[in-house]
Structure 1
Amino acid sequence: MSEVEKKEEETTTTTTVEKTEEKKEETSSFAPAAEIKEYAADVEPNVEYEATLKRDVVEVKTNEENEDTLFEIRAKLYRFDTDPSPQWKERGTGNVRFLEDKDSKRIRVVMRRDKTLKVCLNHHISPALSLGEMTGSDKSWVWKCPKDFSDEEKPEGVEELFAIRFATPENAGLFKTEFQKCQAKNEAIEKKTE
């Protein structure tokens, strides 16, 4: 190797060594991890947020304020749909309740869907209603309601065939017992008003 080639090789080696030393110096300019932890522990964030939109408190009426809950149990409600082909369609899942009006003492059955709280069952418990067993299930009941008022699009009420299913046969039995008690109370009230 000639002297010129040796000098060029030494120069490139020196430049490479200098560059790596510069990189080491750059990375070593950060504080050690222990110092960062101490600093982070000393600093407390002081962040305050103000609401950009102020909301007014609105009182929501459910039309259940003047009623007492006599019975409440969790269930799944179905309605029988004949259009276009006959089949059971799920109406909602939630708590079905028997509510007694404080003034008239009439009892109605109401059910609201879980998350939306939209009414999916709402009618008076008439003595004419017949609660029957659903074929093939000891956890379900079926009844035909002459006027259900849960559909907002039809405030005059609509005739529906309902099926209700419970988690256990015991819950279904409790529902039937309470349903029949409410029917008897409403029948006594109707006889008094006649």
Structure 2
Amino acid sequence: MKTSSFLMIIGSILLLGLFIYPLWNIRLEAPQYPDPLGMDIYIAGIEGEEEFDIQNIDGINHYIGMKKIPKPEEMWEFNIFPIVIGGMAGLGVLLGLLGLFGKISPHWFLGWLVLMTVLGVLGMYDFNSWLIEYGTDLDPKAIIKLTDAEGNPLSYKPPLLGSEKILNFTAHSYPKTGAYLMFFGMFLTLVAWIVGSRKMKRD
């Protein structure tokens, strides 16, 4: 079970990449901006791709009544997510070590993966809920008020995944390095469970 345990440990450690690399990226392209405006979303906050991107995005949002990009202290998620990721990484390494010394079966690795998947889905749901609020909770006193054919205020919600036209902007929303490291780490834990289970059956 050494191979599966080492895979479990490596997969869990890869989660720590989320403390270094962004999880997600939202980029806005428009004719008046030769260089797209972008924001990288980390588990502990949001940063602009370039120095003044956040400032410029906030300036655009002001005209249509959208809120400013939140600071870390303004969203509870930025305090909780690092604890969750650190805890899951530590738990995964512990399970890998226990498996290495034959204290647990590889089915614990699958349990970790299921829990991590549930937490990931909840995180994406929360992220999408924030995007909905961010794009629809508009200031009624905004300088520019745009409505659809029925007179309802337009939604400026960026897509959760993919590209979408918003006024004269095209918004792109895609995973970044931290997410890919997390996905690969979870894939390794799946492989760890498969390899460990097969080893148990042979023994």
TM-score range (shorter-chain normalised) is under 0.3
The structure with more radius of gyration: 1
Q: TM-score, normalised by structure 2?
A: 0.22
Q: TM-score, normalised by structure 1?
A: 0.23
**Richer in strand (by share):** 1
Give the number of the structure with larger relative contact order, counting CA–CA contacts within 8 Å between residues 6 or more apart.
2
